[in-house]
Amino acid sequence: MSDTLARLAEVLEERKNAAPDSSYVASLYHKGLNKILEKVGEEAVETILAAKDVAAGGDVDELIYETADLWFHSLIMLAALGQHPQAVLDELDRRFGLSGHAEKAARQPSA
Ligand SMILES: N=c1c2ncn([C@@H]3O[C@H](COP(=O)(O)OP(=O)(O)OP(=O)(O)O)[C@@H](O)[C@H]3O)c2ncn1[C@@H]1O[C@H](COP(=O)(O)O)[C@@H](O)[C@H]1O
């Protein structure tokens, strides 16, 4: 796993024992899953808007910034539900080399 992801996952676990006023992550845990999911949705929308801007000739830095926000809040969602990012990387590894078209065809028998 990327060192950055592993370190961040460790910090997100530690923040489960931190006071909400001492840490942004702890404050989100304290507000609960609905607030965390709201943030994931908000960051997803901001990422989409930034991508549209880049396609229209805008600044790519904003897209990178918003994608980092989206990944970060997705990691908090996983941690809040007791899941480690390694599970997502394992799933991507499992899919590696498997064509999306082939996977979909195996899932959906043709009518
Ligand atoms: N990577 C991040 C990170 N990315 C974004 N953010 C915060 O996520 C928030 C993003 O929310 P918005 O942009 O919507 O701004 P906001 O208005 O403050 O948010 P709301 O009031 O709407 O909830 C901002 O407060 C950012 O500072 C992050 N906060 C923390 N981290 C990492 O998490 C670690 C632990 O952070 P603390 O728990 O705060 O110590 C840090 O050391 C960093 O490594």
Q: Which pLDDT tens digit goes with each residue over 37-96?
A: 999 999 999 999 999 999 999 999 999 999 999 999 999 999 999 999 999 999 999 999
* Domain that includes residue 70, residue range: 3-96
Instruction: For residue 26, give the ligand 1 atom closest to its CA.
Output: 38
Amino acid letter, residue 82:
G
ipTM here: 0.91
Give the Cα separation of 55 and 57 in Å (integer).
Answer: 5
Q: Which pLDDT tens digit goes with each residue over 8-43?
A: 999 999 999 999 999 999 999 999 999 999 999 999
Q: Whose CA is closest to atom 43 on ligand 1?
A: 8
Q: What is the pLDDT of residue 101?
A: 87
What is the residue-wise DSSP string for the chain? Answer: --HHHHHHHHHHHHGGGS-GGG-HHHHHHHH-HHHHHHHHHHHHHHHHHHHHHHHTT--HHHHHHHHHHHHHHHHHHHHHTT--HHHHHHHHHHHTT--HHHHHHHHS---
CA of 99 to the centre of ligand 1 (A): 36
Pocket of ligand 1, beta carbon within 6 A: 8, 11, 15, 23-26, 39, 69, 72
Q: Whose CA is closest to atom 31 on ligand 1?
A: 72
* Residue 21 in domain: yes
* Residue 108 in domain: no
Residue 38 contacts by C-beta under 8 Å, 6 or more apart in sequence? none
* Residue 103 in domain: no
* Residue 30 in domain: yes
* Residue 101 in domain: no
* Residue 106 in domain: no
CA of 96 to the centre of ligand 1 (A): 31
* Residue 63 in domain: yes
User: Domain of 86: which CATH number?
Assistant: 1.10.287.1080
Domain count, the chain: 1
* Residue 51 in domain: yes
